[in-house]
Amino acid sequence: MFYLVSILVLIFCAFLFLFLKKIENKGILLIAGIFLVAYLLSNFGPFFPFSWFPGALLLALPRGSETIRYEEDMPEAGKEMLRDCFGADSVLSEGVKKELQYFDECDQVNVTVHYREWTLSYKNAEGRDCTFVFDNRRWEFSEGSIESDMKQYFSVLTEEFYRKNFWDKGVAGISGIRENDSTLYFQEYPSYVSPDMPKSRAMFDQMQQYSLAESIDFTRLQYQEVFEKFPYMLHMVLYVDYESGKEPEREKQRQETERKVRQMTEELISYTGHTLNGVVNVTMMDENGYADAFTIAVVKGEYFGDTEDGREYDIALYENFFGSLE
């Protein structure tokens, strides 16, 4: 009887692994598996250790499929906002039906998503053809959700510009730099509320009330003006490996790294007409991980001395752009 149970278990497992991915309707397989486990439990009690294994595998079976549909069409307020931000000559396509499929590891279900996608064509300040692509994959597709996609698009455009024209060249000559870990972000001012920071409430409220859509015209966007016109900053993160274990050589490498980072920062300050807002965090690494670090911070083109407490820097950003927070 032992061999019979073993053979049944092996056959079941082979069937499961060979055909699971090929079967779209897994309900029959699930029911058959349940009956098999029940049969083994009720008739072959002494061989219980073998009977729970198929049941455990059955728990990993996908529980079916799920379909999500986003049917909302473009709101009129959204169309007006897009015309204001991308110009009257911009062209908005009709919503194109799209389908996305993926497997949800958490719920163990195959998910199919139906949604609509729009493409907006416009010319930038240099006369080049550009496109802004967005969709309605929101539980509430509205003017606000379109603005969220537009904010992300704005960040991507600006990041690409500063990466291509400053970052790539600036970090290329830094010895020991971890290129895959080092990066650049263009992001909104930090927004949070802290009990021991009274001004943080006013900062949070300012950012909540701010609307990029009311301030930006993509057809006239000039990247050297983004820090003066919008509450955004550059955040640059670098990881650099020490190339020697000797302290004098490490200090020399650290100084050279800082020199090149400051040189890049000076070029950014000059290009932006002394309006740059940004932070460069440099972490020096060795075989044990973190070894040393330094930070360079700039507000309105001027170096910000106190970088130990990041909250003071955040306050300076807000007061520079919005005015007094009192």
Question: How many whole angstroms separate alpha carbon 291 and alpha carbon 269?
Answer: 29
Q: Give the list of residues 6+ apart from residue 287 with CB closer than 8 angstroms, or none.
A: none
The candidate with the shortest Cα–Cα distance to 176, out of 44, 34, 285, is 285
Amino acid occupying residue 10: L
Q: Give the list of residues 6+ apart from residue 56 with CB closer than 8 angstroms, or none.
A: none
* pLDDT tens figures, 197-215: 999 999 999 999 999 999 9
Note the pLDDT of residue 48. 46
Note the pLDDT of residue 309. 73
The residue ranges of DSSP E strands in 2-75, in sequence order, are: 65-69
Tokens 């006369």 found at: 127
Q: Is the pLDDT of residue 311 over 50?
A: yes
> Do residues 5 and 50 lie in contact, with contact meaning Cβ atoms separated by under 8 Å?
yes
* pLDDT tens figures, 20-36: 444 444 444 454 555 45
- Mean pLDDT of the region 53-67: 62
* pLDDT tens figures, 71-124: 999 999 999 999 999 999 999 999 999 999 999 988 889 999 999 999 999 999
Question: How many whole angstroms separate alpha carbon 277 and alpha carbon 299?
Answer: 5
Q: Quick check: helix, strand or coil at residue 326?
A: coil
> Do residues 86 and 218 lie in contact, with contact meaning Cβ atoms separated by under 8 Å?
yes
Q: What is the pTM of this model?
A: 0.80
Dihedral (CA of 122, 124, 129, 135) sign: negative
Question: How many whole angstroms separate alpha carbon 255 and alpha carbon 237?
Answer: 17
Residue 287: how many other CB atoms lie within 10 Å:
8
Q: Report phi then psi at 309, rounded to 5.
A: -105, 105
Residue 234: how many other CB atoms lie within 10 Å:
24
Which residues are bridge partners to 295 per DSSP?
281
Give me the count of residues in the chain.
326
- Mean pLDDT of the region 286-312: 90
Task: Categorise residue 116: left if φ over 0, alpha if ψ from -120 to 50, beta otherwise.
Answer: beta
Note the pLDDT of residue 121. 98
Q: Say which residue, 191 or 4, is predicted with more confidence.
A: 191
222 membership: H or E segment, kind and range = none
What letter does residue 291 receive in the DSSP assignment? E
